[in-house]
């Protein structure tokens, strides 16, 4: 069993998306899976040109010669694929969006109609991996994920992780043991989710609930973030001889 996460954060290896993906993949590995996280920001991925050659002239094949050829192989060879992105402007990063646009060669051109009146393209390959989704955002609150949820929920993902207060994930604070406990519980729940996904093919409602635990009050998160930025700005001011 192979589990791959494609991480679409521009921060790559230092991202909060990575912290989340890492815990989930640890759980998957414990359950016997081979795992890998691909940092898309490190890859050479051009924009889709919209030429549609992959549908007509060279069916199933993109005319651009870049890292997507090997990444699509890696995607298809996986049993489970995770797509990870921070919220940027209420949606996914351009890094992940660009990556997903380049999957057009895996769709056939003809338009089909669903019973509910929506439309789709058939896939070109027989077997697609099952998918899960990881997102985190910088604001408190659930509404930051509304657009992503609307987009993702149509696609039958095995697991959806929506982590608000994302910038608090590595802020151990001895004065705030409750938040620390919640963060530890969040990462434990992610490990459990990775384990369950590989072992059972699904993640229990109980684990999903634990993943979406409120880690701190909105006010405490705001106060911590605003204090950080006050200190950061004054640090740079004092370094600047002109100011
Ligand atoms: C260009 C940009 C746009 C952002 N837009 C939002 C947003 O719409 N809502 C939000 O809650 N956070 C937003 N954020 C904050 C990030 O989602 C947040 O910092 C996140 O924890 C980064 O995750 P990462 O470390 O995985 O990249 C934005 C950040 C950047 C740089």
Which band of pLDDT confidence, cut at 50, 70 and 90, is reported for residue 153?
Answer: confident
Looking at residue 243, its pLDDT comes to 59
Helix (H, G, I), strand (E, B) or coil at 81: strand
Please check whether residue 234 lies inside any domain of the structure: no
**238 within some domain:** no
Q: Does 228 reside within a domain? A: no
In a domain, 236, yes or no: no
- C-alpha 84/C-alpha 37 separation (Å) is 10
pLDDT tens for each residue of 12-65 = 999 999 999 999 999 999 999 999 999 999 999 999 999 999 999 999 999 999
Residue 112 placed within a domain: yes
pLDDT band at 170 (very low <50, low <70, confident <90, very high): confident
Q: What is the pLDDT of residue 175?
A: 73
Structural domain contains residue 48: yes
| Strands 119-123 vs 107-113: parallel, antiparallel or unpaired | antiparallel
Q: Is 194's pLDDT higher than 70? A: yes
Centre of ligand 1 from the C-alpha of residue 201, in Å = 30
d(CA 27, CA 29): 5
How many Cβ atoms are within 10 Å of 120's Cβ, its own excluded? 11
Task: Assess whether pLDDT exceeds 80 at residue 193.
Answer: yes
Whether residue 195 contacts residue 31, with contact meaning beta carbons closer than 8 Å, is answered with yes
Nearest CA to ligand 1 atom 28: 88
C-alpha separations of 240 from 172, 230, 232, 233, 243 in Å: 30, 16, 13, 11, 6
Domain assignment present for 116: yes
Strands (E), 88-129: 107-113, 119-123
Rounded to whole angstroms, the Cα distance separating 219 from 102 reads 40
Rounded Cα distance between 168 and 126, Å, is 41
Our count of domains for the chain comes to 1
Spatial neighbors of 37 by CB under 8 A, at least 6 apart, are 4, 5, 7, 18, 21, 22, 25
Domain of residue 152: give its range. Answer: 2-217
Residue 155's pLDDT is: 87
Q: Is 91 in the pocket of ligand 1 (CB under 6 A)?
A: no
Q: Is residue 88 part of a domain?
A: yes
Closest ligand 1 atom to Cα of 137: 17
CATH code for the domain in which residue 149 is found: 3.40.50.360
Question: Which residue of 87, 139, 140 sits with most ligand 1 atoms within 8 Å of its CB, as the best mutation to test the pocket?
Answer: 87
| Residue to substitute in 137, 141, 144, 169 for testing ligand 1 pocket (most ligand atoms within 8 angstroms of CB) | 137
Quick check: CB of 179 below 6 Å from ligand 1? no
């Amino acid at each position: 069993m192979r589990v791959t996460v494609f991480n679409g954060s521009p921060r790559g290896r230092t991202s909060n998306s990575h912290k989340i993906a890492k815990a989930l993949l640890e759980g998957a590995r414990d359950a016997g899976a081979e795992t890998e996280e691909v940092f898309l920001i490190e890859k050479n991925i051009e924009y889709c040109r919209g030429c549609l050659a992959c549908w007509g002239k060279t069916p199933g094949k993109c005319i651009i010669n870049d890292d997507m050829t090997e990444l699509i192989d890696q995607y298809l060879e996986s049993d489970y694929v995770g797509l990870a992105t921070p919220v940027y402007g209420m949606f996914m990063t351009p890094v992940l969006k660009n990556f997903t646009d380049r999957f057009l060669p895996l769709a056939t051109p003809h338009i089909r109609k669903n019973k509910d009146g929506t439309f789709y393209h058939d896939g070109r390959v027989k077997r697609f991996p099952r998918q899960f989704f990881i997102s985190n955002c910088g604001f408190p609150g659930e509404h930051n994920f509304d657009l992503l949820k609307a987009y993702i929920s149509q696609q039958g993902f095995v697991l959806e992780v929506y982590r608000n207060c994302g910038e608090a994930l590595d802020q151990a604070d001895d004065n705030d043991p409750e938040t620390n406990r919640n963060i530890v519980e969040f990462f434990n729940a992610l490990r459990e989710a990775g384990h369950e996904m590989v072992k059972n093919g699904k993640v229990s409602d109980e684990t999903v609930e634990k993943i979406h635990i409120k880690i701190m009050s909105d006010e405490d998160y705001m106060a911590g973030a605003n204090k950080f930025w006050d200190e950061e700005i004054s640090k740079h001011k004092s370094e600047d001889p002109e100011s």
